[in-house]
Amino acid sequence: WDYNTKKLSCVKIFEKLVPHILKFSPNGEYLLVGFTNGHCKILCASDLSELASFRDSQESASHLAFAHESAYCATAHSDCCVYLYKLSTQQFTSTAEWLFGGKHRSHYRTIVGLMFSGPEAGPESKLFSIGQDGRLVEYSVRHSSDTKGLFITSAWTISQEAHPVGAMWFPFGFRGDHSKILISDDHFKLKVWNTVDGNCRSTTLAPTFSGPLDKLLPLRRADYNELTGKAAETVVGEDNAMTAESGQNMQLLNPPYDDGQFLVYATSERILGIIQLPLDGNAVKQMGLVAHPGRVAAIATSHEGKYVFTVGGADLTLNQWAVNTESVAAVSSLAKAADFDGIESYITMIEGGREGELLHDMKQFFYYSQLRSQGEKTTRARKLDGTIPVAEIPNMMCALGFFPSQLEVQNMLAEVRYSRFFETGRYVEKVTFEDFVRLYINHRPTFGTDGRDVVDALLTLMGDEDGGAGKIPRELILQKLLRTDAKGAEIGVPSQNDTDPDERLSYKEFAQCLKSLVQDEDAAIDDVLGDAMDPVSLARDILGFDDACLPLVEADCIADATADDVTVQGGESEAAVA
């Protein structure tokens, strides 16, 4: 289709094949088509003639990707495998041919993202895949072959509880900070991961208009040509051999990470929207609209960044949307001008607002953390500078009811320490109260954690080892949660991934936690847990979740329910609530 004239340009009919996904190459010469039966075909973009055909999988193609130089392409299929193809010129002919370059089953759950590195990351292309198993895998294109398979360079665990649902290459940032991937998950978080060291660079709250963001694309900025021209002038000045004309044709390898850049997103159902960068979780910089009555199957942007295209599901509709980023930029600019302390939009997301109990507690805990960091046992006058050490952040989070895992703490501290490294060349070692408010809003669970969630986790922990009694044996709890026994000896098996921090507790740490929970310094583990404990009692009586209940037994959740409200039919309880 010619989207300017709205006229049909060319048609390609596939017999006995159902196309499922399409991808154009960056140079505009190739169109990669994935089919539901595992077939993949590379077509000439101008006339849709077939250039190559592959059938290396029996499962539907789910993701396609091209390298920035258009000499490599990759596919991901429903069998959790990644496949690589290379454009090769034969030795005795000038004809270029697409050849199989290797495959690897890198994930044990559905692949949700597949991409090559951009030109800003260096001349050698790298391939990345992200799966719902919470793994980010990097492959070396150069070292992969049809005989050796896809060569894995690195693999990182990027989430434990949340499941990634979408991803994109994220080139924005300061010079030297361009090897990053943006990943969205089903906990409504957007996380930027550095692919050099595997650290999380930022975690921000995603739009919550509908479901999680499973489609992400960068939108070409309005001043792209102007910025490219400035970059070309700089390059021409540094290299006299390069002409101004050739400099104008170069790509913008250092896209600024500023408020002139936008992202396009879509959820699996109905919603299409844009987000203004830098990513900071500010709801004022986000918008969304209902693009389809049901499923949004795919999105794409025009080369010049003026239009966004969406394809529906059952509605059989392709929509073309004109994008006006100026309205979002104007709203965020006005909000920023009226924000005297830089956190007004975040305070609106805190229960009770500026006068609420939660913000009051945050101020009190922050003040106490300043005192604690200087030492509590002193009578000397103190000089407080309005900041706390980075090491105090996990304690602050726990005090406010958000209990991050060791992996989340590791990511949080890395995010803060590296937040200004590429601007100043120094690590951040202290944060202000405003910085902490933004950090708390972006990292805390989007919809909170209730007692039922805890009981669900305990039931998963229990598995089939309760012997039908419906209780968790004390030995099973200790086996799952401890890394050392009472004598300090190592027990159990550490994390399967050596890059993951060990989430288990020592015997001493676990004993101290129980003493704090039951508020008894003389309490022993055996006395508190007994021989066995049911999940609801453990969550409600020890962990303090008053709303703890079994997932499918509504009567346990209703404080005022009487015996007359519950009827038992065929061994199943049903609660009738007026």
Mean pLDDT by 10 residues, the chain (578 residues): 91 93 94 96 94 94 95 96 91 79 94 93 91 95 92 92 94 76 96 91 93 94 74 54 46 73 94 94 94 94 94 92 93 88 90 92 93 78 86 93 89 92 88 95 87 84 65 84 77 56 83 88 86 86 83 47 37 32
pTM of the model: 0.86
Which string of b and e fits 461-472 if b means at least 16 CB within 10 Å?
Answer: ebeeebeeeebb
Looking at residue 119, its amino acid is P
| Prior bond of 278 cis (ω within 30°) | yes
75: enclosing H helix or E strand: strand 72-77
pLDDT of residue 176: 63
Quick one: which of 76, 81, 98 has its CA closest to 89?
Answer: 98
pLDDT of residue 519: 87
- Find out whether 551 and 452 touch, Cβ atoms under 8 Å: yes
Q: What is the DSSP letter of 2?
A: B
Round to whole Å and give the CA distance between 356 and 128.
44
Per-residue pLDDT of 82-116, as tens digits, reads 999 999 877 666 678 999 999 999 999 999 999 99
pLDDT of residue 571: 38
205: enclosing H helix or E strand: strand 200-205
Per-residue pLDDT of 493-527, as tens digits, reads 555 554 567 788 888 888 888 888 888 888 888 88
| Domain boundaries 1-205, CATH class | mainly beta
Residue 443: strand, helix, or coil: helix
Which ranges of 285-352 would DSSP assign to H, the alpha helix? 325-337, 344-347
Which string of b and e fits 218-252 if b means at least 16 CB within 10 Å?
Answer: bbbbbebeeebbebbeeebeeeeeeeeeebeeeeb
| Domain boundaries 346-440, CATH class | mainly alpha
Round to whole Å and give the CA distance between 538 and 456.
12
Do the first three CATH levels of 1-205 and 346-440 match, i.e. the same topology?
no
pLDDT of residue 557: 45
pLDDT of residue 242: 46
Residue 50: strand, helix, or coil: strand
Q: What is the CA radius of gyration of the chain?
A: 27
pLDDT of residue 533: 85
* Biggest alpha carbon–alpha carbon distance for the chain: 89
Looking at residue 158, its amino acid is I
Neighbours of 563 (CB within 10 A): 6
Give the tokens for residue 320. 């073309």
Give the tokens for residue 291. 């693009």
Per-domain boundaries in the chain: 1-205, 346-440, 451-575
